[in-house]
Amino acid sequence: MRSAPYTGSTISSAIWILKMIFLVILHLAGDALIRASSPKPNFVLMLADDLGIGDIGCYGNTTIRTPNIDKLANDGVKLTQHIAAARLCTPSRAAFMTGRYAVRSGMYSCGEARVIHWLGSSGGLPPNETTFASILQQQGYSTGIIGKWHLGMNCESLNDHCHHPLNHGFDYFYGMPLTLLNECQPGGLLQIDVPFRAQLTLLTQIMAFAVVTLVIARYSNMVAINWKIIFYSALLVILFFITWYLKYGFLHYWSCIIMRNNEIIEQPMNLERTAPQMLNEVLQFIDRNKDTPFLLIVSFLHVHIPLITTKAFMGKSKHGRYGDNVEEMDFMVGSVVNAIDNAGLKNNTMIYFTSDHGGHLEANDGKLQTGGWNGIYRGGKGMAGWEGGIRVPGIVRWPGIILSDVKIDEPTSLMDIFPTVVHLGGGELPKDRIFLVILHLAGDALIRASNPKPNFVLMLADDLGIGDIGCYGNTTIRTPNIDKLANDGVKLTQHIAAAPLCTPSRAAFMTGRYALRSGMDSCGGARAIKWLGSPGGLPPNETTFASILQKQGYSTGIIGKWHLGMNCESLNDHCHHPLNHGFHYFYGTPFTLINECQLGGLLEIEVSFRAQLTLLTQIMAFAVMTLVIARYSNMVAINWKIIFYSALLVILFFITWYLKYGFIQYWSCIIMRNHEIIEQPMNIEEMATQMLRELQHFIDRNKDTPFLLIVSFLHVHVPLITTKAFTGKSEHGLYGDNVQEMDFMVGSVVNAIDNAGLKNNTMIYFASDHGGHLEVKDGKFQTGGWNGIYRGGKGMAGWEGGIRVPGIVRWPGIIPSDVKIDEPTSLMDIYPTVVHLGGGELPKDRIIDGRNLMPLLTREALHSEHEFLFHYCGTQLHAVRWHQKESGAIWKAHYMTPVFFPEGAIGCYNTKVCGCEGDHVDHHDPPLLFELLADPSESKPLDARVDPQYKSVLSRIKMAVTEHQKTISVVPQQFSFFNNLWRPWLQPCCGTFPFCWCDKEDHNVAGLMG
């Protein structure tokens, strides 16, 4: 049975970090040279406890002195997006040791006990988990861990030590099997189960008071009660007290112990001696093993409370006891590094420094904070979503192998250490763990082994509303083929278009970037390409996913609508044409369907401006006629030449604008095959059948090679041209007929894939470019789409109805069937997804806003990688969506909303498409805030004055907007007035302009539809 193809985050992250390490090895020489010169490198891995990323000089702290850690960073690589796999000690360390999320080994919980609380409990790192220490031990390494363990001790008997370090691949252990606690310091603040202990104390006092009351009452003869009852009651109180006090009153003895290997050598530990003893053990281990390859984990007790610091460092920092403790740890780091260097091991030892998670913000001693600082990052220890809880220092030094003074701004994880040291130490990753990941979590390895070049069929509807499809809630329009596609795959319920209009949305889809990054969005009169004879379009320097797959050996084709421009400077330069953007084959319209494509149809393009031109022409003609009459009647003495040239001026004025608007059917409604115009004007009644024929031919031609096929439907854009086989068949008039015809075409494409034997090797995707068009009507009848429960529609970037679209993905054997995913995703995500699956690499020179969907589709990841999505109307930011993953909430803040007309309407019926700025929008200060899971219709904004969450949510969104806007660069605007101005010399023409007409199409398409 075939499984889903995506590795866990651990393996993909590991591949990345290995790449970064070896990228710089002796000028890209590769690991062969490493193994020749250093077959068994040493590893010193230093792990701080509760250290905040903002507590170190090289990460921005200017007051706490950390010269040794700073030097380590200067001599090696500093990772700026180094992420802990969990936000608390035990699960983070379990993930670090195993290279797997802690939930995979059962080392995670959402209850009160999220870490190991007691040495006398049976929980811990399971004996069947494989640590990197155990793999290196088998490779002949001496392995040791000195310091904190905190991954359990015994399972069933006192000395079985099933969770002990020596049972997990270490030859030597010195340190605490648990962790530092406040209770380790006599007289310190309580830490463990404090509220429960207070309840036990209060209950004991109440019970004792009751017994004393009984004694007094008995002595005073107030009650007649047997002394035996009083005695046993007192005994019960004493036994109750002893029972719980034995547990909590001697924590100092139970938890605060030091072991060497399997022997307890201090109980309770002497806190003041622990740091010097640890350092001494580290130095002795290095000295003992300097002639053999070794792995040494230095697991600091610093900077966990109670912040025990030796006298040499007390009072030396500007940040009280916490600063003292950090500076003492820095000294120990320097001592370890010096020991390595002095032993002559510098060039053969990889040294790594990090923290197990973020600093503990809530730790305090009275008014003084005794926890760490996480710099600019929000949150801290215990908070899995906020960066402050999981972003940690990450420093790697290996002279001669890794470059010095390098900063890497790519996401990495503590879990990456597992595959890194295993690989460098000559070991192999566990096969059972890899297969577990591959078979159940769908990894890259399986995809590329069984499907090295999967096919992609990406279907994009035009103006389709999310409420128009059966699987998204419509009960009257019949869409059985699309519904079956969803049943056989994954349905995305929060699939978001990057723009609410055709051209910018398609530009974002093709490039994986917000359209304004490429200049493909505007707030002016033109928010989409209006003319084939204008120079605006998708810039030649933009990289589409088609161009990347083309380089990977794919046959690439797009059939249907393009609408991303044609020429730049000359008639046939085709700089914006599909064949200049990574496609081998194009059949369809380089523009879009418009009402003018249908003879006698309603006008669509610049209707009000054309009316003004007509009126002006009539006024000018009337003026000339008036002059003629006045001249004949001798009312005015005017030269006939003036009248002649005035009439000529009117005629030339009329010809000028009528040449542009009167022949739109010829200028805009054309069909091309590759670079050749084959129909001008297009026969729109046959377009659907011709498209279907081309689709089937493309699949048949390329069934033996990997291919990318974009099916860019002309459905369901006005004028809703539908073949006779589907006309009058739906309950929703012409619009419903058009949707049902498109559904038939979807089924035909899927059947062509399946009948060609490509079903299991083809990813099929279906979506719409944006929401349905509410304002389009034919008389009283609406001819646009329905967006279900969602407010707004096409042209509205903030309201859900304009941007929430269907999203369906099918890939049998790889993606599970009949699954619904309620996580935010974007049309831009298709870019990195198909590039990754097709074996390509994302461009390094630009920001890609999309995210790889495969972890989500295969259910390896439970959450979308999108935390924020930005909803632009033209170049104006109308709204921002925040996925608050720790709570599951989806917040959306509206800064501007369109002004509907007439008042009380649901759209902009005066302009047909809502504007983005000026008088066309209402500005909201404070912004409107909705929680979309509770209020998907966006009808009840939170009250900014009384809702307790409003301020914190808006504050976080504001921070995200600030960071996002820093990434926006100024680029040439493709929709500027001049770039969207019709230029006759750029107008595609299959004859001699202006006599543009041809029909080279094969019209033998009978039997394809219906």
Summarize pLDDT for 584-636 with one digit per residue, the tens. Answer: 999 999 999 998 888 877 777 778 888 899 999 999 989 889 888 888 888 88
Q: What is the DSSP string of 671-729?
A: EEETTEEEEES--GGGHHHHHHHHHHHHHHHHTTS-EEEEEE--TTSTT----TTTTT-
| β-sheet bridge partners, residue 879 | 871, 894
Provide the pairing of β-strand 406-413 with 707-712: unpaired
Q: Count of residues for the chain? A: 1010
Neighbours of 243 (CB within 10 A): 10
d(CA 40, CA 34): 9
Which among 150, 357, 423, 563 is annotated as catalytic?
563
Where are the alpha helices (H) located in 405-466, listed in sequence order?
417-424, 431-441, 444-450
d(CA 219, CA 229): 14
d(CA 748, CA 695): 9
Decide if 502 is catalytic.
yes
Whole-angstrom distance between the N-terminal and C-terminal Cα of the chain? 36
Which DSSP category does 862 fall into?
S
Can you give the pLDDT at residue 537? 95
- Residue appearing with tokens 């360390």: 93
Which amino acid is located at 934 in the chain? A
Can you give the pLDDT at residue 444? 40
Instruction: Please give the angle made by the CA atoms of 448, 454 and 456, to the nearest 5 degrees.
Output: 145
Contact 268, 16 (CB under 8 A): no
Can you give the pLDDT at residue 960? 97
Neighbours of 365 (CB within 10 A): 16
Give the 3-state secondary structure of 150-179: CCCCCCCCCCCCCCCHHHCCCCEEEEECCC
Can you give the pLDDT at residue 739? 97
Pair of tokens at residue 77: 């690589």
Nearest to 855 by CA among 458, 443, 450, 545: 443
Contact 132, 433 (CB under 8 A): no
Can you give the pLDDT at residue 710? 98
Residue ranges in the chain whose pLDDT is less than 70: 1-39, 109-114, 187-193, 366-367, 432-452, 524-525, 1005-1010
d(CA 298, CA 46): 5
Instruction: Please give the angle made by the CA atoms of 149, 153 and 156, to the nearest 5 degrees.
Output: 165
Which among 502, 914, 990, 996 is annotated as catalytic?
502
- Residue appearing with tokens 């081309």: 694
Nearest to 893 by CA among 843, 858, 938, 928: 928
> Residue 560: helix, strand or coil by DSSP?
strand
Can you give the pLDDT at residue 191? 66
What Cα–Cα distance (Å) separates residue 905 from each residue in 22, 432, 554, 879?
61, 61, 48, 21
Contact 18, 429 (CB under 8 A): no
Decide if 964 is catalytic.
no
d(CA 335, CA 338): 5
pTM of the model: 0.59
d(CA 775, CA 789): 17
Which amino acid is located at 250 in the chain? F
Residue 379 parent element (H or E): none
